[in-house]
């Protein structure tokens, strides 16, 4: 059965074209970052992405590298199906800290690839993965917890909004810190890579599994057990399958 023509199935993104990935990572004073970079490189290779990795960008270079990536995508010789951007650094809510200690706004980085600014990615999936603190709060966990499923309606208008087809995946929720092991890397990146390589399903299904696994973990920090979970914000209009 052709799922594109059936009203009983959700439409899928066409992933037959090029897959491009950019990773910008501040390793300075972030022990364990190299382990995460190695894991990400293996994941992108496994999933068929052409991957670019840049270490220790300044705040200005975060912006410059994003612009270069947009130009690479728009100049690609074949159709581009999907782009991944991984941003790893110290941070605060809505901000990333460059190698120089200056801050760059996440929204300024995200908008470089939106449907207005990157023509080759118009109506194509754009996935941003952010491994960074989003505040100073620490989660000790609660005795009883649950999860929430967000249903996203599919629509196929003649024109599309500027900010659709984008998925933002944060290593922690708003206002909270993110954790990273000096030798084993970050729980978030390592869990995400393992799930993306070992499991099949739509990307939102995979991210639900990442959240489930992270929610089950206990992280020891400052002599106390902590809890952490990622946060996902999606404007995807179709299912996105990487395998």
Residue 99: pLDDT over 80: yes
Lowest mean pLDDT among 36-50, 101-115, 157-171, 215-229: 215-229
Indicate whether 153 pLDDT > 50: no
Q: Once rounded to an integer, what is the mean pLDDT over residues 157-168? A: 84
Distance, CA of 37 to CA of 39 (rounded, Å): 5
Distance CA 215, CA 102 (A): 32
Is-contact 58 102, C-beta < 8 A?
yes
Domain positions in the chain: 18-140+161-235
Does residue 175 sit in helix, strand or coil?
A: coil
Give 137's pLDDT tier (boundaries 50, 70, 90).
very low
What is the per-residue pLDDT for 172?
78
> For residue 56, what pLDDT is reported?
96
Mention every residue, 6+ apart, whose C-beta is less than 8 A from residue 24. 54, 57, 62, 65, 66, 85, 86, 87, 88, 89
DSSP letter for 233, please: E
Per-residue pLDDT of 182-209, as tens digits, reads 556 788 999 999 999 999 999 999 999 9
Place of tokens 């190698």: 99
pLDDT of residue 24: 97
Catalytic residues: 90, 133
* Strand locations in the chain (E): 18-25, 50-55, 80-88, 91-92, 95-97, 103-105, 126-131, 166-170, 219-221, 224-226, 231-234
pLDDT in the model for residue 160 = 79
> Which segment, 37-41, 140-144, 221-225, is predicted with the most confidence on average?
37-41
Q: DSSP assignment of 17-53, as one string?
A: SEEEEEEEE--TT-TTHHHHHHHHHHHHHHTT-EEEE
If pLDDT is split at 50, 70 and 90, which confidence band does 163 have?
confident
End-to-end CA distance of the chain: 19
CATH 3.40.50.1460 fits 18-140+161-235, yes or no: yes
In angstroms, rounded to a whole number, what is the distance separating the alpha carbons of residues 36 and 22? 14
């Amino acid at each position: 059965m052709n799922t594109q023509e059936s009203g009983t199935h959700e439409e899928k993104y066409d992933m037959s074209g090029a897959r491009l990935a950019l990773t910008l990572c501040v390793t300075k004073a972030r022990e364990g970052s190299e382990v995460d970079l190695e894991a990400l490189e293996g994941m992108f290779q496994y999933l068929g992405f052409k991957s670019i990795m840049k270490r220790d960008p300044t705040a200005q270079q975060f912006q410059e590298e994003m612009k270069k990536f947009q130009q690479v995508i728009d100049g690609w010789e074949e159709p581009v199906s999907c782009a991944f951007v991984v941003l790893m650094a110290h941070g605060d809510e809505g901000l990333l800290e460059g190698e120089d200690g200056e801050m760059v706004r996440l929204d300024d980085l995200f908008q470089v690839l939106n449907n207005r600014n990157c023509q080759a990615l118009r109506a194509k999936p754009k996935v941003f993965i952010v491994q960074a603190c989003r505040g100073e709060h620490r989660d000790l966990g609660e005795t009883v917890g649950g999860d929430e499923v967000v249903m996203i309606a599919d629509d196929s208008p003649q024109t599309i909004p500027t900010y659709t087809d984008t998925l933002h995946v944060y290593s922690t929720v708003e206002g909270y810190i993110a954790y990273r092991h000096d030798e084993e890397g970050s729980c978030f990146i390592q869990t995400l890579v393992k799930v993306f390589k070992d499991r099949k399903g739509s990307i939102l299904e995979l991210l639900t599994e990442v959240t489930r696994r992270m929610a089950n973990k206990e992280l020891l920090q400052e002599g106390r057990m902590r809890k952490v979970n990622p946060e996902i914000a999606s404007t995807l209009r179709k299912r996105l399958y990487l395998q």
